Amino acid sequence: MFSKKTYINRRAELKKLVKSGVIILFGNNESAVNSPANNYSPFRQDSSFLYYFGQQRDGLVGVIDIDENKEMLIGDDIDIEDIVWFGGVDTVRELGEQVGVANSAPMAELKSICDKAQKAQRKIHFLPPYRSDIKIQISDLLGIHPNKQKEAASLELIHAIVKMRSTKTAEEIEELERAAVIGYKMHTTAMRLTKPGLTEKFVAGNVDGVANSYGAMVSFPTIFSQHGEIMHGNPSMAELQAGRLVLCDCGGETLNHYCSDNTRTFPVNGKFTQRQLDIYNVVVECHDAALQLAKPGMKYADVHFAVCRIIFDRMKELGLAKGNTDAAVTAGAHAMFLPHGLGHMMGMDVHDMEALGQIYVGFDEETRPNLEQFGTNALRMGRRLQEGFVVTDEPGIYFIPALIDEWREKKHCAEFLNFDKLETYKDFGGIRIEDDLLITKDGCRFIGKELIPYHPKDIEAFMNA
């Protein structure tokens, strides 16, 4: 938890931005695995609730009455039965005082607060819910059917939170640096362990254990797979094979739930083949180009398409593509190799604020998403960068057999792609390199004092040390 003053100041700024009405920020409840008494562990609080109210206990709701300038933490105190099993915790009143909230009340009081506000025809601001139990609670409190709650959520509140959470303060950057330390330990553990004969599950399990031992949890389910062409490939019981590449995409969360998100791709036996290097070095070039291009005032969509042009130019040199590069990128031919966006916002959520709606987080009135073109429709971040933003830089090149087959059959972008040559890469897999960028006053820098090895010679030296 940050200082009491941090949360007081955040709520004060939120009130200025939203201007009027009653803000209700729902914390998360425990989530059952396979029975009511067996819950997922560790408990993960809602990020926006954490940002303004700081407390990680389940079953809490924060209320901010802007017009009456009154803040309240709502929740029921833990009873003796739970204390016996899980130990004592602070009262709701004490939890509120720790973050500068003077008022508290039991959960039953929330209905009265909502009824009073509705009777006075005052605006009640809430965020789009993503958990079914909170949807039911909103339905009970406000009479809005769960199917209508996303549309009924407050745009004023969404825009205010996106504005505040997008720009990271100095203390948040320090927390992200701590997350980067965990991420470094996770990735270097994977590189040290990886060798032929071990299973993907074994290595991934050890990687997850690093996150659990140094922080709160993994920031997302670890991706560790020899099938790097699958964007979110879960680790399987497949044995690691010499001569193949393995893709590791993982990150950790600090105890305050700030995230790291890195990807590395490396040879199972610690030595790249020339064929692998031909593709790998293109991804390195794209990764480093983004570091040079990203700066305040630059649209991240423009950085993305600059990377797409580099990829297509290099694929032409390797005989996999052909034709005019600008025309090919306009037509979306680059998505044969890069079917996702260059990156996304990052902070307390690994895809920061994704639950609020990507169109509000990664785009704005000036920069709109293209939802029609394959590949481009997966661009999560397109808006102009500002000092204090944290975004991922994650170019990749993938050879997806099903995509090659489909485009060949439909003759999609046939004037820009050499399908006969692409056929010979169906067994290649995929490569992605990802790091987290902090946008600075006149450019950007990587988050993390120790950079996870990504240049081929550095990876080989590390794995064979």
Both 126 and 226 in a single domain?
Answer: no
On whether both 198 and 245 belong to a single domain, the answer is: yes
CB under 8 Å to 27, separation ≥6 — which residues? 45, 46, 49, 53, 55, 57, 58, 59, 60, 61, 62, 75
Identify the CA nearest to 211 among candidates 180, 179, 271, 252: 252
pLDDT tens sequence across 281-324: 999 999 999 999 999 999 999 999 999 999 999 999 999 999 99
Whether the per-residue pLDDT at 27 is higher than 90: the answer is yes
**Residue 87's domain spans which residues?**
4-166
CATH number reported for the structural domain that contains residue 395 in this entry: 3.90.230.10
How far is Cα 200 from Cα 277, in angstroms, rounded to an integer?
22
The tally of domains found in the chain comes to 2
Q: pLDDT tens digits, residue range 414-430?
A: 999 999 999 999 999 99
Q: What is the CA radius of gyration of the chain?
A: 24
User: Residue 107's domain is classified under what CATH number?
Assistant: 3.40.350.10
Same domain, 355 and 454: yes
Alpha helices in 100-199 (DSSP H): 109-119, 132-142, 149-152, 155-166, 170-193
- Quick one: CA dihedral 44, 48, 49, 51, positive or negative? positive
Same domain, 175 and 132: no
Distance CA 458, CA 136 (A): 52
What is the distance between the alpha carbons of residues 300 and 290, in angstroms, rounded to a whole number? Answer: 9
Domain shared by 152 and 32, yes or no:
yes
Claim to verify: residue 134 and residue 179 sit in the same structural domain: no
Q: Is 175 in the same domain as 161?
A: no
Cβ(307)–Cβ(290) below 8 Å: yes
Same domain assignment for residues 118 and 231: no
Q: Is 50 helix (H, G, I), strand (E, B) or coil?
A: helix
Closest by CA position to 431, among listed 239, 211, 283: 283
> Which residue type occupies 425?
Y
Predicted structure pTM score: 0.95
pLDDT digits (tens, 9 = 90+) for 361-405: 999 999 999 999 999 999 999 999 999 999 999 999 999 999 999
Q: Provide the sign of the torsion angle of the four alpha carbons 269, 248, 317, 323, taken in this order.
A: positive
